[in-house]
Amino acid sequence: MATYENRAREARDLKDERLETAFEQGHDADVPYNLETYIPPTSDLEKSVHSTPASTRDDDGNLGEETQAAAVHEIDPNIVDWDGPDDPENPMNWPVKKKWRLIFILALVTLVTPLASSFFAPGVPQVMKSFGATSNIIAALVVSIYILGFAIGPLIIAPMSELVGRYHIYNICNLLFVIFTIACAVSSNMNMLIAFRFLAGCVGSSPVTIGGGTIADIFPRDQRAGAMAIWAMGPLLGPVVGPVCGGFLVQAKGWRWVFWILAIFSAFFAMLLLTLTNETYAPAILERKAARLRKSTGNPNLRSRLKSPIPPKELFIMSIVRPMKMLIFSPIVFLMSLYVAINYGILYLLFTTITFVFEDQYHFSSGAVGLAFIGTGVGMLSGMAALGIMSDKIIKKQEAKGNVKPEHRLPLLLTLPGGIALPLGIFLYGWTADKHVHWIAPIIGTAFIGLGNLTGMMTIQTYLVDAFTVHAASAIAANTVLRSMFGAFIPLAGLSLYDKLGLGWGNSLLGFVGLVIIPVPIFFRYYGERIRTDKRFQVRL
């Protein structure tokens, strides 16, 4: 019995690792074009592995990597694989120093592109004056259009990285990001600036889209936590740190220097990544090895063990259609994505209007106005700390009971305070700014907004991953597309809303929307399992 339980536990662990790795690498786990994707139980490989003599197994009955590779070659001698478990070409076998050098450089690149989303915000009044623009919609669009690029870029970047490898995608996108950012710096009119901001957002999404996959390429699951934490700080802190630095830069040098600084730093980090790192994506590395062997041996039948059986056209269609099908036809994905999208849209409405609010209401200078964004950052960090401490404790408690469900990712202890924090922060921010209460009061309000935004986004993302397992990447992609679209378009109404209703009632309208959506995660906490298992709500993918 003990042996059976051990084997069952090992099987579950292997399945969990394959699911987690596939998601981190940016694809669904049922797409068989990666080392850690599912192999159908009836495949020739599994038959070969299962028929391998007991003498080749270890004390626990498991096959070593060499034996598994031999099983593959028994099926087809034209299969190209690693040269044993210690092959130095395998990124998993890279020296520790080489791995962490890559992570450090990748973290720098991943910091710059999210930072660019809001770095420019304090300079909007100067831009409007430079180009003689007066439209409130244009004032918001010039900031938020970048986020629309973050919605569209990943749909192309993710499948392309599976076809040509991550290294090429990083370097192409980094080069284009520098070019588009320089184009923003030398823009001669508002249309040109908006167009190149959008293009910069599309290519700037690459490190956020495939950075987690790079980490999964080089670290086994039990060693990823530290690397993921370092890499994830960029997307979290970038949009908040950006305006703080950007405010003083705009005041000292003008708005164009925001883009020149971004271009300089991104070019430097891009050169580091180009010259000091290598390809990490195993299928791409083995495919190049197979190409070399085909040329040297004259055997055209040689092929990589990890070669994707899915044609590129089908891969592109799948990467775009599957998330959209889940978004439209799955009530869980749609409502949860809508909840996050509203949160995100309100956050970026805040980012695009806070400069005008604090300059008009409190007469902050262009430099000091960037400091008004600190409250949001403090709130987000507080939410991250709360999640880190409480979420794992709740899951471990349920594991001890032997009753872990995806819905346990939505504990009332986190979802309810987080849901209340958002509208509370909006009301506090709006009315204190409207009544000219001391400037610290609205900044405290933005801290509550940051807290509610992060707890809502993170709890729902982990829930979607656990709820959709095999199709976790598509569920998150659907969430990201809707979230980014709201983040791009809701801010367009911000300044006009304040002009018509004032800061108090204008923000109150947003606060009431925040109150209305509070029940969404609570509803799925209690009824999510019933909906997930109901055949009427299951999407055919």
Cβ 157 vs Cβ 272: under 8 Å: no
The total number of structural domains in the chain stands at: 3
Comparing C-alpha atoms, which of 261, 407, 271 is closest to residue 332?
Answer: 407
Instruction: Output the CA–CA distances (angstroms, integers) from residue 265 to 182, 274, 509, in the order listed.
Output: 12, 14, 40
Q: Are residues 59 and 176 in the same domain?
A: no
Cβ 165 vs Cβ 284: under 8 Å: yes
**Phi, psi (rounded to 5 degrees) for 31:** -95, 110
What is the chain's mean pLDDT, rounded? Answer: 83
Percent of all residues in the chain with a pLDDT value above 90, rounded to a whole number: 36
Q: Is residue 248 part of a domain?
A: yes
Comparing C-alpha atoms, which of 349, 362, 359, 351 is closest to residue 439?
Answer: 362
Q: Is residue 202 part of a domain?
A: yes
Last residue of a domain, one of 301, 329, 360: 301
| Per-residue confidence band for 309, with pLDDT thresholds at 50, 70 and 90 | confident
Q: Is residue 90 part of a domain?
A: no
Q: Which of 43-52, 72-81, 106-115, 429-438 has the lowest mean pLDDT?
A: 43-52
Q: What is the mean pLDDT of residues 351-356?
A: 88
- Position 476 scores a pLDDT of 84
Which tokens is 134 given? 């007066």
Q: Are residues 112 and 202 in the same domain?
A: yes
- Position 15 scores a pLDDT of 60
Last residue of a domain, one of 29, 46, 76: 76
pLDDT of 240 higher than 70: yes
Q: Is residue 330 part of a domain?
A: yes
Comparing C-alpha atoms, which of 382, 372, 377 is closest to residue 440?
Answer: 372
Q: Is residue 81 part of a domain?
A: no
Give the whole-angstrom CA distance, residue 422 versus residue 400.
33
Q: Are residues 280 and 328 in the same domain?
A: no
Which tokens is 105 given? 């450089």
Q: Are residues 451 and 391 in the same domain?
A: yes
| Per-residue confidence band for 314, with pLDDT thresholds at 50, 70 and 90 | confident
Q: Is residue 357 part of a domain?
A: yes
Q: Is 411 helix (H, G, I), strand (E, B) or coil?
A: coil
Give the whole-angstrom CA distance, residue 258 versus residue 246.
7
**Phi, psi (rounded to 5 degrees) for 303:** -150, 155
Q: Are residues 363 and 450 in the same domain?
A: yes
- Position 499 scores a pLDDT of 92
Q: What is the mean pLDDT of residues 91-96?
A: 92
Q: Which of 75-84, 99-108, 150-159 has the lowest mean pLDDT?
A: 75-84
- Position 52 scores a pLDDT of 44
Q: Are residues 178 and 269 in the same domain?
A: yes
User: Could you tell me which residues come within 8 angstroms of residue 440 by beta carbon, excluding any fewer than 6 positions away?
Assistant: none
- Position 3 scores a pLDDT of 52
Last residue of a domain, one of 301, 323, 349: 301
Q: Are residues 49 and 138 in the same domain?
A: no
Q: Is residue 223 part of a domain?
A: yes
For the stretch 155-182, what's the b/e string if a residue is b when 16 or more beta carbons lie within 10 angstroms of its beta carbon?
A: bbbbbbbbbebbbebbbebbebbbebbb
Comparing C-alpha atoms, which of 289, 281, 303, 228 is closest to residue 92?
Answer: 281
What is the Rg, in whole angstroms, of the alpha carbon atoms belonging to the chain?
A: 25
Q: H or E stretch including 302?
A: none
User: What confidence tens digit (pLDDT) does each residue in 64-86 have?
Assistant: 444 444 444 455 788 888 888 88
Which burial class, exposed, middle or buried, applies to 17 when counting CB atoms under 10 A from its CB (0-12, 13-18, 19+)? middle
| Per-residue confidence band for 177, with pLDDT thresholds at 50, 70 and 90 | very high
Q: What is the mean pLDDT of residues 508-536?
A: 90
- Position 41 scores a pLDDT of 39
Cβ 167 vs Cβ 216: under 8 Å: no
Give the whole-angstrom CA distance, residue 51 versus residue 70.
12
Which tokens is 457 given? 């986004």
Instruction: Output the CA–CA distances (angstroms, integers) from residue 352 to 15, 142, 148, 253, 468, in the order listed.
Output: 44, 9, 14, 21, 34
Give the whole-angstrom CA distance, residue 394 versus residue 384.
15
Q: Are residues 107 and 233 in the same domain?
A: yes
Write a three-state SS string for 18-48: HHHHHHHCCCCCCCCCCCCCCCCCCCHHHHH
DSSP string, 249-296: HHHHH-THHHHHHHHHHHHHHHHHHHHH-----HHHHHHHHHHHHHHH
Q: What residue has token string 């909906």?
A: 531
Q: Which of 97-101, 348-352, 393-397, 498-502 has the lowest mean pLDDT?
A: 393-397
Structural domain boundaries enclosing 444: 312-541
Cβ 272 vs Cβ 105: under 8 Å: yes
Give the whole-angstrom CA distance, residue 314 versus residue 465.
24
pLDDT of 32 higher than 70: no
CATH number at residue 144: 1.20.1250.20
pLDDT of 199 higher than 50: yes
Cβ 352 vs Cβ 369: under 8 Å: no
Q: Is residue 86 part of a domain?
A: no
Q: Is 198 helix (H, G, I), strand (E, B) or coil?
A: helix
Q: Are residues 62 and 209 in the same domain?
A: no
Q: Are residues 317 and 296 in the same domain?
A: no
Q: What is the mean pLDDT of residues 279-305?
A: 88
pLDDT of 191 higher than 70: yes
Q: Are residues 297 and 317 in the same domain?
A: no
Which residue pairs from 11-14 have beta carbons closer than 8 angstroms and sit at least 24 positions apart in sequence?
none
Q: Are residues 390 and 461 in the same domain?
A: yes
User: What confidence tens digit (pLDDT) does each residue in 426-438 have?
Assistant: 999 999 999 999 9
